[in-house]
Amino acid sequence: MAGGGGGGNTRELDQTPTWAVASVCGVIVLISILLEKGLHHIGEFFSHRKKKAMVEALEKVKAELMVLGFISLLLVFGQNYIIKICITEEAADTMLPCKLKAATYDAETGKDHSKGPKAVPDAKKGAEHLGGANMKAKCHEGKVSLISINALHQLHIFIFFLAVFHVMYSAITMALGRAKIRGWKEWEKEAAGQDDEFSNDPTRFRFTHETSFVRQHMNVLNKTPASFYISNFFRQFFRSVRKADYCALRHSFVNVHLAPGSKFDFQKYIKRSLEDDFKVIVGISPPLWASALTFLFLNVYGWHTMLWISIMPVVIILSVGTKLQGIICRMAIDITERHAVIQGIPLVQVSDQYFWFARPTFVLFLIHFTLFQNGFQIIYFLWILYEYGLDSCFNESNQFVFARLCLGVVVQFLCSYVTLPLYALVSQMGSTMKQSIFDDQTSKALKNWRAGVKKKAPNSNSKHGGHGSPTAGSPTRAAADSGIALT
């Protein structure tokens, strides 16, 4: 009962020393303040660097943490009501994640002598004493609580794991993606020099099959569809983006969407585009929440759900990588079919039809889904390791656990360092430009337009009786004149 007694860990808050309450609350408040200040400084750093997409991504991470915190508060507040929901013992013994334990109850000692694969350690059952008397008094004979206090406590810890590792997982994803794109900076400098060289040399004509971009894809030309996909499947593991690919895609983007010969930092634009994609993948959308709940629902002993959730991200990300490599290869094939002779770098066709369902964003959704599922299964394993240990009934064998962890690490690296940057590059070959291209150049154009209007205003007033020209200093004209100079 609440109050004194020898069991000190059964005391309620009114019988707990005030210094103990203040100490625990102080530590929690201090950690919360440090976390809030840390996120605030990170946001200021991104704002100072004018990383608008990263600021929005950070805000989305804060929103996800708030949602998880609110779920945790709901569990704490509603636990006394949840345990009052009673179900039959037959229903409680169905769809268990582990084998059903043969429990025997000793009425004299009040101990539960369970026989099963692995009993929960006594140290982890401490939460069961919190309101344990009320828990057993609410259900009639033959019925049990929908979920016990101890199970709610473990679920609470799982949500904490989900919140902490979601932030860490997102940071690792962005760091690997930026590291990959940073390696393209030298290619950008060389490509900009090649543009000047080819534009000043009108005699630089070549056959399409002589270009580096087409030559490196010649091994799949006029081959069967099976060999086409097999070749592109293995290409994603070895130099997924080559210099010739980057230069060809960059040249086509500039010539199609901007004026030919424009001074445009394509690598910087790809980096901003990656940040826009990252802003999407850090969120947890309703379909992803639904997939997580589906996994928890189907994680039944004997169904091997952990095996499927480990294999699914691998299959999806390898399929996406093969598709993106196939798009680049298909562009090279289309060049050989359309042109016999070209000047300088080949010009690839820009179209949404290269992508599944003519929707480049669907590929991003698959990458998002893969990252979430892979992160979720890793977090679930770490939670099991913390709550039950390595030899728990959740883990079929140590070899299987090791294989799952290796797959998780491989998928994380492959998705973040290979597939996501590859998508950021190939998705530019869609029919429309991304919004991120206008961020800097539109601001610069508007500033130039405003300065031009101020200079022309006195002259216009004197010549036209106080009415300026409506077209000479328009922001549209300013954007056309200066907007493409993005450096």
More confident residue, 460 or 418: 418
Please tell me the predicted confidence (pLDDT) of residue 317: 92
Please tell me the predicted confidence (pLDDT) of residue 467: 44
For residues 271-296, give the mean pLDDT.
Answer: 86
Given pLDDT bands bounded at 50, 70 and 90, which one contains residue 102?
A: low
Please tell me the predicted confidence (pLDDT) of residue 387: 86
What lies within 8 Å, CB to CB, of 480 at 6+ separation is none
**How many distinct helices (H) and strands (E) make up the chain?**
17, 6
167 forms beta bridges with: none
Please tell me the predicted confidence (pLDDT) of residue 54: 79
Residue 54: count of CB within 10 angstroms of its CB? 21
Average pLDDT, the chain: 75
What lies within 8 Å, CB to CB, of 383 at 6+ separation is 157, 158, 161
Q: Residue 178 pLDDT more than 60?
A: yes
Residues of the chain above pLDDT 70, percent: 70
Please tell me the predicted confidence (pLDDT) of residue 344: 57
Q: Residue 227 pLDDT more than 70?
A: yes
Query: 463: part of which helix (H) or strand (E)?
Result: helix 438-463
- Lowest mean pLDDT, pick from 167-176, 178-187, 339-348: 339-348
User: CA 97, CA 392: separation in Å to the nearest integer?
Assistant: 11
Q: Residue 439 pLDDT more than 60?
A: no
User: CA 201, CA 309: separation in Å to the nearest integer?
Assistant: 56
User: CA 261, CA 202: separation in Å to the nearest integer?
Assistant: 13
Q: Residue 133 pLDDT more than 50?
A: no
Q: Residue 311 pLDDT more than 70?
A: yes
For residues 18-44, give the mean pLDDT.
Answer: 87
Q: How far is CA 459 from CA 5, 248, 363, 430, 447, in A?
A: 94, 47, 54, 45, 20
pLDDT in tens, 41-52: 888 888 887 777
Among 431, 430, 406, 410, which residue's Cα sits nearest to residue 419?
A: 410
Q: Which residue has the tokens 């802003």?
A: 279
Q: Residue 23 pLDDT more than 70?
A: yes
Residue 342: what are its φ and ψ, rounded to 5°? -135, 165
Among 379, 26, 319, 322, which residue's Cα sits nearest to residue 170?
A: 379
Please tell me the predicted confidence (pLDDT) of residue 483: 41
Q: Residue 339 pLDDT more than 50?
A: yes
For residues 35-40, give the mean pLDDT.
Answer: 85
Given pLDDT bands bounded at 50, 70 and 90, which one contains residue 230?
A: confident
Given pLDDT bands bounded at 50, 70 and 90, which one contains residue 8?
A: very low
User: CA 183, CA 171: separation in Å to the nearest integer?
Assistant: 19
Q: Is 58 exposed, middle or buried (0-12, 13-18, 19+ CB in 10 A)?
A: buried
Residue 183: what are its φ and ψ, rounded to 5°? -70, -10
Please tell me the predicted confidence (pLDDT) of residue 261: 64
Please tell me the predicted confidence (pLDDT) of residue 349: 74
Query: 377: part of which helix (H) or strand (E)?
Result: helix 360-387
C-alpha 239: how far from chain center:
23
3-state secondary structure (DSSP) of residue 115: strand
Please tell me the predicted confidence (pLDDT) of residue 315: 92
Please tell me the predicted confidence (pLDDT) of residue 477: 42
pLDDT in tens, 378-432: 888 888 888 888 878 887 777 888 888 888 899 999 999 999 999 988 888 877 7
Q: Which residue has the tokens 């999407």?
A: 280
Q: Is the pTM of this model over 0.85?
A: no
Among 423, 421, 288, which residue's Cα sits nearest to residue 359?
A: 423
Please tell me the predicted confidence (pLDDT) of residue 200: 45
Please tell me the predicted confidence (pLDDT) of residue 316: 92
More confident residue, 437 or 307: 307
User: CA 36, CA 13: separation in Å to the nearest integer?
Assistant: 28
pLDDT in tens, 258-280: 766 667 788 888 888 888 888 88
For residues 465-473, give the mean pLDDT.
Answer: 43
Give the type of residue at 82. Answer: I
Please tell me the predicted confidence (pLDDT) of residue 142: 81
Among 280, 442, 267, 301, which residue's Cα sits nearest to residue 361?
A: 280
pLDDT in tens, 189-220: 887 766 555 544 444 555 555 567 777 777 66
Residues of the chain above pLDDT 90, percent: 6
